[in-house]
Structure 1
């Protein structure tokens, strides 16, 4: 390259740098004069400097004058609700009058208090009256089991109840039906046999247990069947009939099984097949079926 061409290239490079510097200075002056531009998300760039208006707004905010929040344009049209004035519409159902709600709450509270009082009254035993109070039928003490007295009408203390279990023990409904041959209708009648309800220990979903006093159950059963001997005789008769029914059912199933087995084609074919009965012939070194003549060679050791 000649010296003249090198001088022109250097001159053009200096002119280009001057033009780029001038353009940058013009953009900087325009940026400082105009408010900061927004990016695609509607936010100011990170290198934007707060202007005079932003400083004035901050000063007003410090003085206590809160500026209203501008809605975000990206959300489109929406309604601004005042949550302090909104009413619960119960999911679209009819809204009850607050006065009615307060009245119902008061009635429910009163009922709850009455239930609590009734429960508390049943939890405490009445006072002991030495002159007119009930006494134990066994030892004549005034410290009786009030639950027994209220449910069964029997006055007995705790110690006598434990020592005389043949009279004061409790029986379940199943035991009354199996041992004393009583029916459901008789056990459900509280006038004939009063019962005590207790929670079933086998599970919360089971029905409550019906507990009966052994003394009252025996008295009613003996009156129904005539005597203890008649009750034992009826019990033996029912047990014998139960065994006979079970035996008849077993024999019926056995006969049905035999008939099915006898008429089975496979069993019929197996019965029709010939079974060899061999006889050993040592002289000839074989064994022979005498019925069909089938022979099998045998190696003698």
Structure 2
């Protein structure tokens, strides 16, 4: 009995101390919750007042904010200048952005700056598109044989309705150069290129020299027709050619006469030796003309000298 008494006393004291501690903790929790409620009430009451009257920042703080904002903008601009194209474009093309290069600037040295012409535009302009397929209703009737045909050399290049079987490349459908057309039929550039409809031509390399300009070949049949449109009749064309031939012969004769004259002058100057010594007059006897007026003549060159005696 004596051994169990302390155990009971010990157990009863522990239970009482545990109850006291729980009561203390409960009171502390209640007090803490009360403080939180009071703080929330004060915050809710002070929030409308703060929203109604916002606190103004000092001038130094505003200046610091503006300085940082300007610095951030400068850094962003520098980053964009270093990489002006989006990364998505470069990633889509395998790391290389497909960007058209700026045109090259050429300084002429005379106060003008020119941009180099884009060669792509010229390359695109030189592309010749083949005509589409010929349908049944697009057949052309040959002017020589009257048969229908789909495609021919003269039709494609000169818009002449003649099939390849009827083409006479040596006589009727002969090709002549632009220079020959201007000399033989007295046509000008405006008659060939500006007058409607403009005559078609083909371009070939110059057979006389590889570095000379390309030849423009016209269809002789169309050149003859255009010359009749310009001059009216064949007689007017022949008359104009005769007048030009006469003028050409006159110009040749004038040039020949001028060369002969220069040659004669050169021959005479080589035979005749010019004297470099000054001429000395040798006067004859003097003659009395009027009162106190006298005259004498040079016996070599015939120069007359008139003078007065006081």
State the TM-score, normalizing by the size of structure 2: 0.44
Higher fraction of strand? 2
